[in-house]
Structure 1
Amino acid sequence: MPIDPAAFRTAWPQVVRSLAVTTRSLDSGEEYAAEAFARAAAQPDGAIDDLVAWCVQVGRRTWLDAVRHQAVFTRLQPQIARPEVAAVDVPTGPGAPGGDLDDRLALLFVACDDALASGAQLVLAMRVVCGLTIRQIAAHLGIAEATAAARLTRAKSALARARGEFAVPDRAARAARLPVVLACVAGLFTVGQRDGIEPADATQDPARDALTLAEALVAEYPEDPEVLGLRAVCRLGLARRPGRVRDGVALPLDEVDRSAWDQWLLSAGLDDATAAIVRTGMPGGPGGPGRFALEAAISGVHASVRDEAGTDWSRLAQLYDALLQVWPSPATRVARLVVLGRMAMRDGHDLSQIEHELEDLVADGPPYAARDASLALADLARRTGRTDESAGRYRELLDVIPAGPLREFCRRYAG
């Protein structure tokens, strides 16, 4: 039977978590969940009433069959004789670590184990929990696909060696892992916005998935400014997504139809952004705004004006300077240079230094930053009347940007 994508995305983390508890291994939980879903897809229509329970049962049986073949039948005989349990029997309640957590959050906290290297944490979480492909993960992190695949394999092995049995970390351990979890959710959102300006299938939209995870994080950490900031980024980004594409072509900022923006998400996102900044100044809070509180403030500046002409570029420059201090990534550098370029054009200043720094990022930055820097250079050339230079840069970008609205945008100006 065909499995509805939305049903799959809801069921997958529940089944993985339950089977990871049963097998005492995240890797095995994922493996037997995949086998169970494959068997579910082969069933006739109407044969399965409860997808989660069915897959948990099948996954358990498959695991037990494998155990028998490993010659430990006698030791596991009491488990095999035990009646099958149809419901997902993940420990819940105040006495069970993470028992009341959203299933996908629980798996994220497991994957973001501090026993793993930071790069391994991100790859494991983004693949196993967020469902991104190796290609998407490699592109987001600016590494080769083979490197991403190798990190995934090593991460699973390292996690099994370091922790042994699968277990959701307690509240203190989850708090320590929260920054990496936030980075994973932010990465999922970035991939969704970068690859899916106008997703064909709303049930396969990483940006929407990221918002769902951000909502779950706010439920767990309602006063944390970085958590609120991340939800603000997701809400404001999704609020501004409508009106960005016309006839399959992405639009420049000055042509976006702002009347199409989602007003509820816009208002809710601005509330979150305000709360995130306010809470950074509360007694006992962090010394200043963190990455996501600042990103939320930046999104808020863009979301608060009626048209591009009203954009407060000076305020954006201040915010990007602050962001560069707490998160000096290539993406931040490109975005800051874009803002400085717009200010220079507004004030009639020379662009050569800004363009030189962008060229450096094209030459030496990771692929995603090089692509964005190339787009920025093409935009600066287009806005300053250097038509031939602009067209040439857009033609080069046609070779590196995948099919979709952004590629059609480049084609529009490639001449």
Structure 2
Amino acid sequence: MRPTPDEFEQAWPRIVRALAAFTGSLDDAEEFAAEAVARAAAFPGRIDSFAAWCTSVAKRAWIDDARRRKVEARLAPELVRPEVDPTASVTAMAPDDRVAGEGLDDRLALLFVACDEALSPTSQMVLALRVVCGLTIPEIAAHLGLQEPATAARLTRAKRSLAEARGAFRVPGPSERAERLPVVLACVAGMFTVAHRTVLDPADSLADTGRQALSIADALVAAYPTDTEVRGLRAVIRLGLARRPGRVDATGTGLALDEVDRSRWDRRLLAAGLDDATFAAAGDGRFAIEAAISGLHSSAPTFADTDWGRIVLLYGALEERWPAPSVRVARLAATAHALLAIAARSARVTGAEGGGPTGPQAEALAAVEDELLALEAGPAAYASRDAALTLADVAWRTGRREEARERYTALAEVMRAEELRRFCLRRAAG
């Protein structure tokens, strides 16, 4: 019986959490949960509760495996015994887990476990993004700017290090969760970022990582309703999803910002996201600022009405708190839009025809392009791609069409999202 996408999305974290508490191992929980789901897909009869059925089957499979390993250990003393006695973890950890994580969403429980301070920040992100958020190794590597083999190795080491540091599986208590919350927020943000960049128009709910990120953000708000960073993160996700219907045309081709049909935006989700952004404005953390930026994009009635000046200032503040290369690229892109907007207004007033800014604005735009060229050649994959797209867009808007076509042609060769590849090909064709 193949589960529906909604059944799988709701059941998977519940199964993994229950198994992790039962076995004491996050690694074993993943392995036996996958085995149980595969058995459910092949089961010919009716399954009333998918999560309960899979949990029960997985527990029996783990017990069988543990018994087999005990027999091997008894009959073959030369084999290395497991560092943690699997039967001991059943009685030792399940009660603690029930106390520490009572009432906590299963996905959040797993995120707080993965974001353990015993691991390095990068290892926390790799473990959480893979085990809880369900991203692939290539997606995680691209998001974190790592090589794929190194990412896979970090995942293996993170699981082993967590088992060695903490022993059996345990959901942290409230004070520990509060300390780990910033990393958890970064993980959910990373999940949405990957979805926003790679799947502009998901085919079904199982492939809709963006909606899954919103579901986790909802659970975070339920747990921390007055936290401005939590509300800011949900605002960013809500507003991003609200604008998603306008990102592609009827042919599945991506659209530039000035081409988007804003009437297609999800007004209900937009209003909810703006409410969250307003609440988050009381704070000054990373996600509060990101929410303010997304709010300005979402509330502008047209592309020409976008307040690029304020967006540039907000990106400057964001860069101070979170100096990621992608944030620097976003600030430079917003600066380019602001300079081009000034040139467009000046041209309308004077009636002049031209391809872009002149005088001091032209010098400022040239400086922006120089910085973007340096970032394009840098090691940060997302920042490099975004810088290349911005350079192509600036060349296009300033009338340097041949340069723009060359850039879009090169970008089409490396673009992973099909919608963006089609956009680059359309621009390359003039």
Fold agreement, TM-score > 0.5: yes
Residue 108 of structure 1 deviates from its aligned partner by 0.4
Match of 1:51 in 2: 50
Q: Name the structure 2 match of 1:285.
A: none
Contact 2:246 2:262 in 1 (8 A): yes
C-alpha contact 2:23 2:89 (8 A) present in aligned 1: no
Q: Are residue 337 (structure 1) and residue 351 (structure 2) matched?
A: no
CA shift, 1:113, in A, is 0.4
Q: Are 1:226 and 2:238 matched, yes or no?
A: no
Among candidates 294, 297, 303, match of residue 292 of structure 2: 297
1:306 aligns with 2:295: no
1:69 aligns with 2:98: no
CA displacement at 1:61 relative to structure 2 = 0.9
Gaps of at least 5 residues in structure 1 are 83-88, 281-288
Matched, 1:410 2:405: no
Q: 1:77 to 1:317 in 2, by over 3 A?
A: closer
Structure 2 counterpart of 1:266: 270
- The answer to whether the Cα contact below 8 Å between 2:3 and 2:50 also exists between their aligned partners in 1 is no
Q: Which residue of 2 aligns with 1:320?
A: 315
Q: Structure 2 CA distance, aligned partners of 1:226 and 1:372?
A: 25
Matching of residues 114-153 of structure 1 within 5 Å: 114-153=117-156
Q: Are residues 15 and 388 of structure 1, via their aligned partners in 2, closer, same or farther at CA, if it must alter by over 3 Å? A: same
Deviation at 1:71, TM superposition (A): 2.0
Instruction: For 2:217 and 2:196, locate their aligned partners in 1 and report how far apart those are by CA, in whole Å.
Output: 15
State the number of aligned residues.
Answer: 397
Q: Which residue of 2 aligns with 1:386?
A: 400
Q: C-alpha displacement at 1:26, in angstroms?
A: 1.0
**1:398 Cα shift?**
1.1
d(CA) in 2 for partners of 1:186, 1:90: 30
CA distance in 1, matches of 2:32, 2:4: 20
**In the aligned structure 2, how far is the partner of 1:203 from the partner of 1:370?**
29
Letter in 1 for 2:297: H
Give the drift of 1:228: 0.4
Q: Distance in 2 between the 1:371 and 1:207 partners?
A: 21
Structure 2 residue runs of 5 or longer lacking an equivalent are 75-84, 343-356
Instruction: Between 166-175 and 402-411, report the one with greater CA deviation.
Output: 402-411
Q: Compared with structure 1, are the counterparts of its residues 78 and 343 closer, same or farther at alpha carbon in structure 2 (3 Å cutoff)?
A: closer
Amino acid in the other structure paired with 1:338 = A
2:350 aligns to what?
none
- Distance in 2, matches of 1:409 and 1:301, equals 25
Shift of 1:346: 2.7
Is the radius of gyration larger for structure 1 or structure 2?
2
The DSSP-based 3-state class of the residue aligned with 1:245 is: coil
* Structure 1 residue 203, shift from structure 2 partner: 2.8
Query: Does the 8 Å CA contact 1:186/1:230 hold for their aligned counterparts?
Result: yes
Which residue of 2 is the match for residue 105 of structure 1?
Answer: 108
Q: Percent identity?
A: 56
1:396-407 to 2 correspondences below 5 Å: 396-407=410-421
Paired AA for residue 22 in structure 2: T
- Are the aligned partners of 1:330 and 1:365 in contact in 2 as well (CA < 8 Å)? no
Aligned-pair distance for 1:365?
A: 3.5
1:366 corresponds to which of 355, 361, 380: 380
d(CA) in 2 for partners of 1:365 and 1:253?
26
Letter in structure 1 aligned against 2:387: A
TM-score (norm 2): 0.89
